[in-house]
Amino acid sequence: MASQPRYHSFPLTIDNSSDEGSDISGDEASQYDDRSSDLVSPVDPSPYTEQSPLLGRSPSIRELFMFPSIESITDRIAFLQRHEKRSPLEQDLVRRLDMVLLTFGCISQVIKYLDQTNISSAYVSGMKEDLGLYGDELNYFTTYFSISYCLMLIPSQIVITYVRPSYWLPGLEIGWGVITGLIAATQNAHQVYVLRVFLGLFESSAWPGMMTLFMYWYTPTELAKRMGFYHSCQALGQMMSGALQVAILETLDGKFGLKGWRWLFVINGIITVMVGVVGFFMIPDYPGNPNPRAYWLSEDHTAMAAERLDRHGRQDAKKISWASAKRTFSMWTAYLIPALYIFTALAPYGYNYFNLFLKSLTNPDGTPRWSREQVNSIPIAGGAINILFVWIWAILSDLFQTRWTLLIAQAVIGLVPCIIMSVWTAQPETTPLASAYISYFMLYLSLGTAPLVMSWLSDLLPHDPEARTLIVGYSIAGLYAILSWSQVLIWPASQAPFYKFAWELSIVFWVIVIILSCRLHIIDRRRWFR
């Protein structure tokens, strides 16, 4: 067996059950450190427990920011290779989870993002002209969606601790499929606003609900990769939206009296409902309370899943109560993780308007430089870059068991295109147009942050499933609450592509990401030395 890595980013195993003044009694006392309101592991001590010379003193700067040694990297590679020595039953369980849960989650995520972003593809494919959308209506479509998404997200995270996820998540997916199809019948912006509100209500459960389920079924060395694969399906959905719109414009535009952009919503809606029905059988619920319709899992598989939770110091799902909510809000994790998640999402947000940039470009004679098909198809290349690098960041994160270094790396990469675009928008006559193209494509390199942030959350709070569920919920709710108004002010469609201060704000956001990543890492490391 490989030796213990010299550097490890997971929380320490410290038993403080006998500390005086603890406000937690009974069996729960061994799971909490009342000095910090954060959770620590009650499992058997590791080399980093009370016996470690690291504890009981203040860490040095070098120890706070130490990087893995070559020996440590070798140990970790050997550690990951130990998956081959897992029991046949455990190997079969992981294989089934990947084939069914992960596959269903990825397909659902593709469809969700397809439904969520097809409004932009439709906008540049005739919807703008047919509905008379000559102001910032596109931004308001996002605003109404974001408000309802934000309002429903936390209640949805609470509901899945009381109602089986295999009922709740597919049921809502079917609902948003129906709403998506109805957008095809709209005749003005106000009708779209109403349907976008309902779409946000139904879609709010999908991403956080699936991320929460992954935390119960996958181990720390498996989690970031799976979250990365799942998260990358957002880009795949965006790519499919453009590709599907191109195919529809070439084949269905005008069929049965429907414009191509209306067919986009009809087809999206049908696909979404079909995927939602399958979800009643594909979602396994929780290891301690498995889905009886999940024919692909046996009792031995669920028992193994529960054993894996115990082995890695994690607890099964619990119903969220007022006490767990109050406890969550007393944790520093409950503030730093959401802030980090929000800024990593806001910083590269300009990539969403790549198609508006392309649509705005004209030839010297005033004709569009790119056709409608090209405006939808060119960003597909960016989506491919996004998928590739989300996978790369997630695999590196699990391989080296580090989250913060890769978050900072993406922030540094993301700064470059934001700086270039801030110059181009201020001086488009003297700045090469090629630099703007390059910048938009570079933004796709820095879209792999969400899996790392959520994996870091799982590492920090292995024993508090209620807190993890809530923090995932209001991290995303906070993001959509900000997007509901900020994108109208920062990225107004009427200013595209020469936004007044959007790229400068993106630079600020990336700097904040670097600061928050360092701060969270320092706090996490200092817990080793208590």
The most confident of the ranges 60-69, 94-103, 203-212, 473-482 is 94-103
Closest CA to 233 of 85, 14, 440, 450: 450
Tell me which of 39-53, 162-176, 277-291, 292-306 is least confident.
39-53
On the question of pLDDT at 479 being above 60, the answer is yes
On the question of pLDDT at 469 being above 60, the answer is yes
- For the chain, the average pLDDT equals 81
Look up residue 28 and give its two tokens. Answer: 């729960």
C-alpha span between 446 and 442 (Å, rounded): 8
Strand, coil or helix: 33: strand
On the question of pLDDT at 527 being above 50, the answer is yes
C-alpha span between 140 and 426 (Å, rounded): 26
Instruction: Confirm if 302 and 287 have CB atoms less than 8 A apart.
Output: yes
Closest CA to 179 of 111, 107, 128, 242: 111
Tell me which of 361-365, 420-424, 459-463 is least confident.
459-463
Question: Which one-letter amino acid corresponds to residue 448?
Answer: G
Q: Are strands 285-286 and 289-290 parallel, antiparallel or unpaired?
A: antiparallel
User: What's the mean pLDDT in 317-343?
Assistant: 88
Look up residue 258 and give its two tokens. Answer: 């429907």
- Does the bond joining 497 to the residue before it have cis omega, within 30 degrees of 0? yes
C-alpha span between 225 and 218 (Å, rounded): 10
C-alpha span between 237 and 387 (Å, rounded): 11
On the question of pLDDT at 225 being above 50, the answer is yes
Strand, coil or helix: 429: coil
Tell me which of 104-113, 264-273, 309-318, 516-525 is least confident.
309-318
Residue of 117 and 437 predicted with greater confidence: 437
pLDDT digits (tens, 9 = 90+) for 357-408: 998 898 888 888 998 778 878 888 888 898 899 989 988 988 888 889 999 9
pLDDT given for residue 481 in this prediction: 85
DSSP 69-134: -HHHHHHHHHHHHGGGGS-HHHHHHHHHIIIIIIHHHHHHHHHHHHHHHHHHHHIIIIIHHHHT--
C-alpha span between 412 and 395 (Å, rounded): 19
CB-side neighbour CA atoms (13 Å) of 450:
26
Phi, psi of 305 (to 5 degrees): -60, -40
Residue of 74 and 494 predicted with greater confidence: 494
Q: Which residue do the tokens 């020595």 mark?
A: 85
